[in-house]
Amino acid sequence: MRFAPFRLFQRPPARSEPEQRQAGPLVAWSTPGQPAWTTRDYRALAREGYQRNAIAYRCVRLVAEAAASVPLRADAGCAPDHPYLALLASPNGEQSGTELLESLFGHLQIAGNGWLELTAIDGVPRAIMALRPDQVRIIPGTDGWPAGWEHQAGARTRRLWRDAASDRAPILQFKLFNPVDDLYGQSPLEAAATSVDIHNAGGAWNKALIDNAARPSGALVYRGTDSDLKMPDSQFERLKAEMTQLYAGAGNAGRPMVLDGGLQWTPMSLTPTEMDFIEARRSAARDIALAFGVPPMLLGIPGDNTYANYREANLAFWRQTVLPLARKAAAALSTWLRPWSDTPFAITADPDGIPALADERAALWARLEASSFLGTDEKRALAGLPPLSNGSLQP
């Protein structure tokens, strides 16, 4: 959010002699303008949110890195050495599987849409690449649903189409729910855009205070006599030059001001205490963290006692934010790659590989081990594991 700057040296309009006799002291002043909120497009959200806001940046990194670190495993009915598992582990010559998923989840948090492109040779997938959301456009079919995609990188534009006969698609769109758009998702950063603007404006305010020795702006009031209420032009221009040269900028912070000729300094801006920017920034930071599903305690934001300790906050983050996102991504990848495979293919997110959930898994295994009325395969099914090869249901 940006406010209109104070126009300190704004010459009042000329008035006739009778008007000057009736007028009071002349004051140069201005009022804050209307807030300019960040526009809801990918480049603006990435610039104002991810690149310029520490809270949003950390939230995106936390969610993307955590979700990408969740291991994927072959589901029941899928060969553990399926070639597509190796493809997901090493999708292209530039990225590892974790880096690819981190790009996918990062784009998802900023744009609400994540895009992957599959390159196939003779019908066999060879590579998977991540595409930037602002470079991909959906081409709707006659029924309104995606029939193809247009990818534009620089001056090059490509069109990729879905094979209706085999249901093979070279593009995967991974999106978040959007109640007002059937084709594109809504990002958490878009929901938190107003809070991001408030947080950025508070930082700009504090920076401006530091540049001005923590003193708010004001106005120079000319208090001449009744017969001389208008400052002479020569004095006005000299004062303007001296203020710019001697008192502007951080290098002149704290320099005392000497006033003469009927001038008086009058503070005009509200103090930081009155505006309460510190608490406003903390409240905006909590709103940003809430939109991303990150407990504020993990970000070091004071004033939030929702969780008793850091361990509970971290567990809630993995259970309520990371694991559902990783499971959703695994299901999307399985649905996307299944038509390309001649053998059954399905993957799931493996919670056993998440260190933060190790205590919960240990408690589950202990309860299953103590259940004498369950067979081995029944216990394995409740634990999310495939059945034994012999199909035994006895302990």
The CA distance from 374 to 291, in Å, is 41
Q: Which two tokens stand for residue 272?
A: 């930081």
Q: Please choose, from the candidates 178, 189, 376, 139, the residue with its C-alpha nearest in 3D space to the C-alpha of residue 292.
A: 189
The CA distances from residue 46 to 60, 63, 204, in Å, are 11, 16, 18
Q: Give dist(CA 251, CA 100) in Å, integer.
A: 47
Structural domain spans, the chain: 1-10+26-216+269-350, 354-395
Please check whether residue 207 is in contact with residue 272, taking contact to mean a CB–CB distance below 8 angstroms: no
| Chain segment 4-27, per-residue pLDDT in tens | 443 433 444 444 444 444 444 444
Residue whose token pair is 């593009």: 171
pLDDT confidence of residue 294? 94
Query: Tokens representing 84?
Result: 């597509």
Side chain identity at 29, as an amino acid letter?
W
Burial of 284: CB neighbours in 10 Å, binned 0-12, 13-18, 19+: buried
Tell me: the pLDDT tens digits for 285-317?
Answer: 999 999 999 998 888 887 666 667 888 888 999
Strands 124-131 and 113-121: antiparallel
Per-residue pLDDT of the chain (395 residues; tens, 9 = 90+): 444 443 433 444 444 444 444 444 444 433 344 444 445 688 888 998 999 999 999 999 999 999 999 999 888 778 888 999 999 999 999 999 999 999 999 999 999 999 999 999 988 999 999 999 999 999 998 888 899 999 998 889 999 999 988 899 999 999 999 999 999 999 999 999 999 998 888 888 777 767 765 555 666 676 665 555 666 777 777 777 777 776 666 555 556 666 666 677 666 665 555 556 677 888 899 999 999 999 988 888 876 666 678 888 889 999 999 999 999 999 999 999 999 998 889 999 988 888 888 888 888 888 888 888 888 888 888 777 777 765 444 44
The gap between the terminal CA atoms of the chain, to the nearest Å, is 64
Residue type, 57: Y
Distance CA 131, CA 171 (A): 9
As a whole number of angstroms, the distance between CA 385 and CA 155 comes to 49
What local confidence, expressed as pLDDT, does residue 309 receive? 82
As a whole number of angstroms, the distance between CA 210 and CA 204 comes to 10
Q: Is the alpha carbon torsion for 274, 279, 285, 290 positive or negative?
A: negative
DSSP secondary structure letter of residue 217: -
